[in-house]
């Protein structure tokens, strides 16, 4: 909470909100009753600058922003279930124009629906930094390119691929709690144009990189789209104390050289 002071009135402005497995409409109503400025269109506090959502259980859109002009950062963490609807970011983000986006899939079903440039441009026009975390090793990566197409100002993209061993769920529990066995279902995506180019993209970081299949193909696709990338960082194992991966191991110079023939510019 930040405080602003004028000659005769002192009032609080909500700038950050964290939702943990709760009903968002009710929470926004509580804010409104407490005197927090709220967007009349969506019930969202109009002064928000950062929002974090930890797990949503609704089969429908868990939230929807209206006019929230100051919102800069959105973080969403959720382990997708088989009954979760795939969310369209163009609809969820409403009339916002965020600059930072962090999506954590917790090594389960991907719950974001790839969209076209036309749909995403209004909400992604100022997006500069994106983290796509804990994408299951079962999933392809090509679908993440839809973010590049919809975000012309994007500077840095971080993609982390891993399956958490400490979060492994038994087959029986997966069935009881509705975890999906098709984690990459619904991720079909095709570029809007075969000659698509991104002129501002500077840095790509891939954690969990392997010199095979989808990783090599993804790196090649990225290099084809990014006109002047400044650097591409490849790491073998994402850092995770619980998984006993203490430090992410970067590819050595010799490894990168040996991989070069497979990353042919197209």
pLDDT tens for residues 181-203? Answer: 677 777 888 887 778 999 999 99
Q: Pick from 97, 61, 104: which is nearest to 79 by CA? A: 104
DSSP code of residue 217:
H
Query: According to the model, what pLDDT value does residue 38 have?
Result: 41
How high does pLDDT run on average in the chain?
A: 76
Query: According to the model, what pLDDT value does residue 256 have?
Result: 54
Residue 82 has pLDDT above 70, yes or no: no
Span 209-233, pLDDT tens digits: 988 889 999 999 999 999 989 999 9
How far apart are alpha carbons 36 and 39 in whole angstroms? 10
Residue 251 has pLDDT above 60, yes or no: no
Query: According to the model, what pLDDT value does residue 44 have?
Result: 54
Query: According to the model, what pLDDT value does residue 121 have?
Result: 95
Least confident of 9-13, 97-101, 111-115, 260-264: 9-13
**Between these two residues, 130 and 96, which has the higher pLDDT value?**
130
Least confident of 42-46, 81-85, 109-113, 133-137: 42-46
Query: According to the model, what pLDDT value does residue 258 have?
Result: 54
How far apart are alpha carbons 203 and 239 in whole angstroms? 19
- Which whole number is the average pLDDT over 59-67? 69
Query: According to the model, what pLDDT value does residue 175 have?
Result: 67
Q: Which range has highest mean pLDDT (65-69, 85-89, 206-210)?
A: 206-210
Residue 23 has pLDDT above 60, yes or no: no
Residue 74: phi and psi, rounded to 5, are -125, 125
Residues 125, 171 contacting (CB under 8 angstroms): no
- Which whole number is the average pLDDT over 87-99? 90
Q: Indicate the helix (H) or strand (E) that contains 104.
A: strand 100-104
The answer for 206, left when phi > 0, alpha when psi is -120 to 50, beta otherwise, is beta
First to last CA, the chain: 50
Query: According to the model, what pLDDT value does residue 96 have?
Result: 87
Query: According to the model, what pLDDT value does residue 61 have?
Result: 63
Query: According to the model, what pLDDT value does residue 102 have?
Result: 98
Span 119-172, pLDDT tens digits: 999 999 999 999 999 999 999 999 999 999 999 999 999 999 998 655 556 666
């Amino acid at each position: 909470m930040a405080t602003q002071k004028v000659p005769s009135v002192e009032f609080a402005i909500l700038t950050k909100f964290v939702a943990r497995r709760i009903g968002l409409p009710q929470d926004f109503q509580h804010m409104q009753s407490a005197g927090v400025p709220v967007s009349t269109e969506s019930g969202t506090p109009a002064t928000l600058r950062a929002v974090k959502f930890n797990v949503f259980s609704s089969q429908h859109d868990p939230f929807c922003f209206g006019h929230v002009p100051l919102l800069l950062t959105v973080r969403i963490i959720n382990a997708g279930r088989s009954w979760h609807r795939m969310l369209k970011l163009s609809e969820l983000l409403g009339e916002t124009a965020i600059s930072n986006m962090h999506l954590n899939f917790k090594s389960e079903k991907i719950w974001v629906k790839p969209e076209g440039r036309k749909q995403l441009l209004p909400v992604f026009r100022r997006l500069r930094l994106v983290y796509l975390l804990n994408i299951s090793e079962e999933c392809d990566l090509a679908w993440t390119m839809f973010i590049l197409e919809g975000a012309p100002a994007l500077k840095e993209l971080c993609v982390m691929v891993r399956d958490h061993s400490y979060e492994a769920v038994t087959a029986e529990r997966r069935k009881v709690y509705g975890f999906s066995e098709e984690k990459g279902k619904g991720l079909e995506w095709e570029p809007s144009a075969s000659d698509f180019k991104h002129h501002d993209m500077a840095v790509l970081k891939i954690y969990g990189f392997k010199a095979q299949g989808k990783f090599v193909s993804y790196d090649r696709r990225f290099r084809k789209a990014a006109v002047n990338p400044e650097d591409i960082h490849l790491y073998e194992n994402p850092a995770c104390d619980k998984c006993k991966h203490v430090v992410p191991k970067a590819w050595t110079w010799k490894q990168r050289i040996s991989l070069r023939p497979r990353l042919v510019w197209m």
